[in-house]
A and B are shown apart, each in its own frame.
Chain A
Amino acid sequence: MNELPLVYMKDIRKYFGNRRNIVTAVDGVSMSVERGKNAAIVGETGSGKTTLGRISCGLEYPNHGTVMLDGENLKSMKNRELWKTAQYIHQDPYGAVDPLETVQKILQQPLRNLLGLNDQEMIDERIRHYLSLAGLDESYVSKRGGELSGGEKQRLLIARAFIMGPKYVVVDEPTTMIDFIHRNEVVETIREIGKSNDTTITLITHDLGIVGKLSQIVHIMFRGAIIESGPVDEVMVRPYHPYTIFLASIKPSNVSEGGKITEMVKGYGRLRQSFTFSRGCRYAHLCPLADDRCRSETPAFEEYTSEHFVACFKPGEFSV
């Protein structure tokens, strides 16, 4: 049983919507997460990261495809079992933290209800421990959710996910409201808790800076598909897909009005809205290198160099 990866997803498709308009949020993705090898999903807004992450931990069912979690088919898993095995940290801390509930209650409920703990002293000890790991001191226990700042809410959500001792956690943009000094700290904490608890993590983020601090494998998503993936060091150092190359080129040091990157970004943004994908490469209409073949044939997702996969007819050719 342990030969299967912790998370195994095969040919996942997910549609939303009604007859008038159907949205394909995930369009045929296969992805695995190996035990102890943290993954990351990076990509454009609306590209399906959250949907894929939620599917991987059973919060959402795909319309097509198979999901196996810890050797079991998600379809046959009971909710209770599922929540003990996998946790999801919500992208939107304001929507995920009950404003009227105290921090104590928020953390204690799942311990009592799902893990069946009832030794109050043990519960309190555990709550204090995980709060402090997440960087919140004891005084926060009596605060209500609504009284926490954005960054404090994000820390609380981290504590809530890990306090359950799950095998798998999906963290969806966990540090967006935390400053850069503390961001690294928080990410390292997440990694450390993961390591000491044998929890494997999938990080969803658009912050390329933190990917390598937590994850070994990175998947780049674009319009519902994974278009590039591989070891973080590989993909970050030598990206192949023109989208990844463009994404990685945007840094504080080159954001100046009138600069080349700024103009590229403006052009990209203007082009993007006016397009619905039909065939060919899904990046073709935005890609400076696209030719007729790119617009009519779909590039296969293939191993281009060792363990480094990409869906592109011209891998590595683009430069900024």
Chain B
Amino acid sequence: MIGTVLQVEDLNIYYSTFGKSKRVVEDVSFTLKRGEILGIIGESGAGKSTIGKAIMGLIEPPDRAEGSIIFNGKNILTMDRYLLDRIRWKKISMIFQASMNSLNPVQKIEDDFYSIFRDKMNIRDKRKMEKMTDELLLSVSLPAYVKYRFPHELSGGMRQRTVIALALTTSPDIVIADEPTTALDVITEYFVLSILKERLRQSGSSMIFITHDLMAIMYMANRVLVMEKGRVVESGALEKIINEPENLYTKMLVSTIDR
């Protein structure tokens, strides 16, 4: 077990709509090792974001998650709220697919950073908070004045990069990145990814990287899971998935790579 930071076993997730329950994640198992970047790819609606939400402990009744997600010896799915709150954001953070839309619209960007510093890291010195914010913004190629802006004053890509910086603030053990770079041009995307990779390495953090972007997967991931209709249909080292795919969907996907 040494070297494993997260163990997902027999995960099944059901959404309930108008009283009807529908399974959207089926018997998914995988492990995440320390320092590893695990890519998840797959069709729209395959259940990728839902898995991310489950790891963050965000599946709530009437929806239901069964199986286990073990982090530090404890099952996230059965953890009490108090413990969960201590882990969330501090130990496991998530860049939501809705990142462009997930910043608090009525507060300035600096307040998003400062509340993490205060609540999760116990840092209160104004100077220090400012300096750390500037550094984090710079690391995603954003100028320091962005902290004085409101979210609606930023472009889609600027908001997305802000959310990436926020997710890195606590240097968590695990970062779940759900389509983090959809609004970025390739040059900026590639730059931001290179910084992400460097920071993960420095802090020894692991990442679950959910994306449709094959360039990003090829640059970032060590291992890849391929999902189709709620199931993992193929998994393996990046090179294997890219060069010798077995599953039909994976084959089609890989054939679209502009080599």
Q: Contact residues of A with B, CB < 8 Å?
A: 16-17, 20-21, 23, 42-46, 50, 91-92, 94-95, 142-144, 147, 149-152, 155, 173, 176-184, 206, 208-209, 246-247, 250-253, 255-257, 261-262, 265-266, 268-269, 272-273
Contact B187 A149 (CB under 8 A): no
B115-161 residues at the A interface, CB under 8 angstroms: 138, 141-143, 145, 148, 153-158, 161
Task: Provide the bound-state CA to CA distance between A184 and B45, in Å.
Answer: 17
Inter-subunit contact A255/B218 (CB<8 Å): yes
A sample of 20 cross-chain residue pairs with beta-carbon separation below 8 angstroms, ordered by A number, consists of A16-B153, A42-B185, A45-B155, A46-B157, A95-B100, A144-B17, A149-B44, A176-B183, A179-B42, A179-B44, A179-B253, A250-B190, A251-B258, A253-B259, A255-B190, A255-B218, A262-B190, A268-B191, A269-B141, A269-B195
Residue of B whose beta carbon sits closest to that of A143: B17
- Chain B: minimal CB distance from A46 (Å): 5
| B234 contacts A by Cβ under 8 Å | no
Please tell me if the beta carbons of A180 and B138 are within 8 angstroms of each other in the complex: no
Residues of A within 8 A of B66 (CB): none
Chain B contacts to A: CB under 8 angstroms: 15, 17-18, 41-45, 49, 97-98, 100-102, 138, 141-143, 145, 148, 153-158, 161, 179, 182-192, 194-195, 212, 214-215, 218-219, 249, 252-253, 256-259
- B15 x A147 contact (CB < 8 A): yes
Q: A176 to B252, alpha carbons, bound, how many Å?
A: 18
User: Of B43, B141, B183, which contacts A91 at CB under 8 A?
Assistant: B183
Q: Which residue of B lies closest to A20 (CB)?
A: B148
Rounded to whole angstroms, the CA-CA distance of A182 and B156 in the bound complex is 23
Q: With A and B bound together, what is the CA distance between A147 and B15 in angstroms?
A: 9
**Distance to closest chain A CB from B121 (angstroms):** 24
Told that A92-B98, A147-B15, A250-B186 touch, could you supply 12 new A-B pairs with CB distance under 8 A?
A: A23-B153, A45-B158, A50-B155, A180-B256, A180-B257, A247-B187, A250-B215, A253-B257, A255-B215, A265-B194, A268-B187, A268-B191
Nearest-neighbour CB distance to chain B for A255, whole angstroms, equals: 4
- Chain A contacts for B190, CB-based, 8 A: 250, 255, 261-262, 265
Q: Are B157 and A45 in contact (CB under 8 A)?
A: yes
Which residues in A have their C-beta under 8 angstroms from that of B98? 92, 94-95, 150
A residues in contact with B214, CB < 8 Å: 180, 252
- Chain B proximity of A273: nearest CB distance (Å): 5
B212 touches A176 (CB 8 A): yes
User: In chain B, what residue has the closest Cβ to A184?
Assistant: B256
- Smallest Cβ distance from A277 to chain B, in angstroms? 12
Q: What separation, in Å, do the CA atoms of A255 and B220 have in the docked complex?
A: 10
- In contact, A181 and B185 (Cβ under 8 angstroms): no
A92 near B212 with CB under 8 A, answer no
How far is B190's CA from A262's CA once the two chains are assembled, in angstroms? 8
Contacting residues, chain B, for A42 (C-beta < 8 A): 185
Q: Which residue of A lies closest to B99 (CB)?
A: A94
Whether the Cβ atoms of B188 and A44 lie closer than 8 Å is yes
Shortest B210–chain A CB gap in Å is 10
Contact in complex: B100, A250 (CB < 8 Å): no
* Known interface pairs A16-B153, A179-B212; A150-B185 also in contact (CB < 8 Å): no
Residue among B15, B98, B154, B161 facing the most chain A CB atoms (10 A cut-off): B98
Chain B residues in 8 Å Cβ range of A176: 179, 182-183, 212
